[in-house]
């Protein structure tokens, strides 16, 4: 028998589009929560095995590995987003991102208040996510048009970050982090609203987009906290 005819939402008179939208939103949140586990595991392995120090010693090579690995896995996820393999690839991607994150985690943990800074960055990211989740359901205006401008901003940030690997300008690094927090917070709002409004019907794609927003907000908040609040032994 058709699931829409037997589901409680359908019996209550919910439209098929609303049923799909609620299912995608629910599955996205579940998969997003699950994706944090491989991320934490990857970061822990990177710090515990000394991989973080190796990456810190070869920033150029690390950047190449990151770009090839990240974009390669994202391409594979999108190609398989309609199958269970897409979920497996997404979790592999979040593990890889955790490994890449271990370089910064290891650096911050070397500070006297490193653990506190990490928890503060995590709490700040959670607060941003909670705020954007609420706004995505209350703002009636369609924000999808902002996506192309935010994408341009993200590309500019990426290019500036790549250039700063060689320039090593503290002021540029600070500017990049501040702009990244703002841009990816806005991206988070747009991506969440797209799911809420039914514009995104695949929960794997939705999870990937929101995960990247959260990841970038966390990384850049941690960078800023390390710059302004880090205490050396």
Tokens of 175: 């500017």
Tokens of 56: 């810190």
| Residue with the larger pLDDT of the pair 96 and 13 | 96
Q: What is the mean pLDDT of residues 8-15?
A: 43
Residue 4 has pLDDT above 60, yes or no: no
pLDDT of residue 68: 93
What's the DSSP call for residue 145?
A: T
Residue 81 has pLDDT above 50, yes or no: yes
Q: What is the mean pLDDT of residues 133-162?
A: 89
Which domain range does residue 206 map to? 3-229
pLDDT of residue 17: 64
Distance (Å, whole) CA 216 – CA 137: 22
pLDDT of residue 198: 84
Residue whose entry in the numeric block shows the structure tokens 């490193």 = 114
Distance from the first to the final alpha carbon of the chain = 66
Q: What is the mean pLDDT of residues 1-17?
A: 43
| Residue with the larger pLDDT of the pair 57 and 8 | 57
The per-residue DSSP string of 79-135 comes to HTTTSHHHHHHHHHHHHHHHHHHHHHHHHHHTSTTHHHHHHHHHHHHHHHHHHHHHH
Q: In this structure, are residues 100 and 61 in contact, taking their beta carbons and an 8 Å threshold?
A: no
Asked whether the whole model's pTM tops 0.75, one would answer: yes
Q: What is the mean pLDDT of residues 30-41?
A: 95
Residue 214 has pLDDT above 50, yes or no: yes
Residue 9 has pLDDT above 70, yes or no: no
Residue 186 has pLDDT above 80, yes or no: yes
Number of domains in the chain: 1
Residue 77 has pLDDT above 70, yes or no: yes
Average pLDDT, the chain: 87
Comparing CA positions, the residue from 81, 63, 64, 70 lying closest to residue 42 is: 70
Distance (Å, whole) CA 9 – CA 146: 32
What angle in degrees, to the nearest 10, is found between the helix axes of 170-196 and 114-138?
40
What are the residues whose beta carbons fall under 8 Å from the beta carbon of 232, sequence distance 6 or more? 111, 112
Q: What angle do CA 103, 159, 100 make, to 5 degrees?
A: 20
pLDDT of residue 13: 47
């Amino acid at each position: 028998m058709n699931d829409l005819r037997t589901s409680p939402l359908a019996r209550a008179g919910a439209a098929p589009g609303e049923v799909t939208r609620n299912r995608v939103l629910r599955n996205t949140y579940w998969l997003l929560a699950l994706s944090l586990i491989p991320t934490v595991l990857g970061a822990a392995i990177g710090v515990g095995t000394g991989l973080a120090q190796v990456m810190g010693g070869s920033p150029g090579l690390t950047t190449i590995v990151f770009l090839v690995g990240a974009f390669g896995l994202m391409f594979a996820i999108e190609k398989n987003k309609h199958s269970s393999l897409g979920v497996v690839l997404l979790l592999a991607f979040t593990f890889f991102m955790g490994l890449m994150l271990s370089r910064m985690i290891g650096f911050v943990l070397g500070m006297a208040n490193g653990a506190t800074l990490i928890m503060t960055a995590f709490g700040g990211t959670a607060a941003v996510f909670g705020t954007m989740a609420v706004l995505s359901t209350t703002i009636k205006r369609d924000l999808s048009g902002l996506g192309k401008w935010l994408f341009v901003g993200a590309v500019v940030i990426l290019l500036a970050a790549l250039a700063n690997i060689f320039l090593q300008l503290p002021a540029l690094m600070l500017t990049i982090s501040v702009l990244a927090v703002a841009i990816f917070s806005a991206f988070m709002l747009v991506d969440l609203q797209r799911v809420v409004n039914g514009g995104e019907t695949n929960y794997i794609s939705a999870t990937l987009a929101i995960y990247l927003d959260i990841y970038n907000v966390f990384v850049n908040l941690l960078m800023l906290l390390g710059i302004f609040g880090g205490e050396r032994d």
